[in-house]
Structure 1
Amino acid sequence: MHPSTLPEPIAAYFAAEHNPEALARCFTPQAVMKDDGHTYTGVEAITAFMAEASAKYSATTVPFALEREDGLQIVRAKVTGNFPGSPINLFYRFRLERGLISLLEVTA
């Protein structure tokens, strides 16, 4: 899947996976992210979690499918890194508001 086929905020999110400053520009101020059984609210909490995960797992994410369902953009992506079970395919469920990500849920 070519990144240009993804909506702009989602393409920017995946392009910035190892750059917390660029990630911060992808989200609304009160965005919510749910990942690995935890919920992170607000840009600071989300980018802190992402920076920690990036340093710990050195993961690389490659989107390969996009669907739309109930107002969500659902991206399937292959994630490879330094974690048990790598590589793994994950679902990224995005809700977009005014060109930014307001909700992101990551599940297996």
Structure 2
Amino acid sequence: MDTLNLPAPIAAYFAADPETEALAHCFTAQAVLKDEGHTYTGARAIQTFMADASAKYNATAVPFALEQEDGSHVVRATVTGNFPGSPIVLSYRFRLAGALIASLEITS
């Protein structure tokens, strides 16, 4: 992760994983997270989703690539956990607002 030179809010997101309280502080109050076909709006909803996902999958993500695309930062990461097909590569599309994450979409 260090060699990617991730923007500070994104580096904080991956460094905080799986500590859901710390992860929630990476987002704006009205941030939007899209994952697994669902949309979560607001830091509290995002924290609840992340806590549930962490308990269910016990996953860890290791970023290995970073691109800029249409005003977003797209990070590719290898995700390992307690789920079928582990490990897998996921894309994390971040939109930032200052020092925080305004939106995140996670796709395979």
TM-score (norm 2): 0.96
Letter in 2 for 1:18: P
Task: Give the percent of matched residue pairs that are identical in Structure 1 and Structure 2.
Answer: 69
Q: Which runs of 4+ in 1 moved over 4 A?
A: none
**Counterpart position of 1:63:** 63
Contact 1:4 1:11 in 2 (8 A): no
Q: What secondary structure sits across from 1:6 in the alignment?
A: coil
Deviation at 1:2, TM superposition (A): 1.7
TM-score (norm 1): 0.96
Q: What secondary structure sits across from 2:86 in the alignment?
A: coil
Letter in 2 for 1:42: G
Q: What secondary structure sits across from 2:12 in the alignment?
A: helix
**Counterpart position of 2:105:** 105
**Structure 1 residues 45 and 20: alpha-carbon distance in aligned structure 2, compared to 1, 3 A threshold:** same
**Counterpart position of 2:44:** 44
Letter in 1 for 2:34: K
Q: Alpha carbon RMSD of aligned pairs, Å?
A: 1.1
The equivalences for 1:66-85 within 5 A come to 66-85=66-85
Gaps of 5+ in 1: none
